[in-house]
Amino acid sequence: MNKPRNQIRTYSGIFLDPYVIKPEEVEIRDIAHSLSLMTRANGHIRYFFSVAQHAINCALEAGNRGLSRRIRLACLLHDAAESYISDVTRPVKHRLEGYAQIEEHVLGVIFEKFGLDDISSDELRTVSEIDDSMLYYEFEELAGVKIRVVAPPVSMPHDFSCKPMADVERDFLNLFEALFTKKEDN
């Protein structure tokens, strides 16, 4: 079978065009698998540490801060678009015309699929703040670099160890299942 030129094939075998991705094409196992195989910092760190591990740490930080299930789920999924469009380093991402819109669109579809399409700008700011905090501690631990003068606050110690990718994928899926199926907002 020839796939159309503008489509990718996901881990589960779905062919999709990221520019026109639909919620029914989004599969959490594709996201978990892909992010568990992608390294943070474009690989410029001491050892492999995946985007999925970063996302798990973000969700755990949100949980330890007592934040809502929605924010914890958004923290877990905040980089999920990368599983469909890859990632670009921050210095390039902000200068690459059109990338931010594509990433926002894909993430919006993912959020729609998982019931976060009505996420507020305040909730997104909280997710972003947690994301930036984890980035600081990842660079400190994984690259030996302090990217800010003042360390941001975190509510708990985080695991930055190198883990088997299959274990990370499983942990991501288990955390997703706990957050997505939970009915109350705590």
**Owner of token pair 């990842």:** 138
Q: Is 130 exposed, middle or buried (0-12, 13-18, 19+ CB in 10 A)?
A: buried
Residue 39's SS3 state is strand
Going by C-alpha positions, the residue among 149, 159, 132 that lies closest to residue 49 is 159
Rounded CA-CA distance 141/111 in Å is 30
Rounded CA-CA distance 164/134 in Å is 20
pLDDT in single tens digits along all 186 residues of the chain: 566 779 999 999 999 999 999 999 999 999 999 999 999 999 999 999 999 999 999 999 999 999 999 999 999 999 999 999 998 888 898 899 999 999 999 999 999 999 999 999 999 999 999 999 999 999 999 999 999 999 999 999 999 999 999 999 999 999 999 999 865 444
Contact 100, 47 (CB under 8 A): no
Rounded CA-CA distance 72/186 in Å is 9
**Owner of token pair 């996901």:** 10
Contact 30, 43 (CB under 8 A): no
The second-level CATH assignment, the architecture, of 15-180 is: Orthogonal Bundle (1.10)
What does the pLDDT read at residue 37? 98
Going by C-alpha positions, the residue among 75, 15, 60 that lies closest to residue 157 is 60
What does the pLDDT read at residue 89? 86
Contact 36, 50 (CB under 8 A): yes
Q: Give the residue extent of every domain in the chain.
A: 15-180
Residue 16's SS3 state is strand
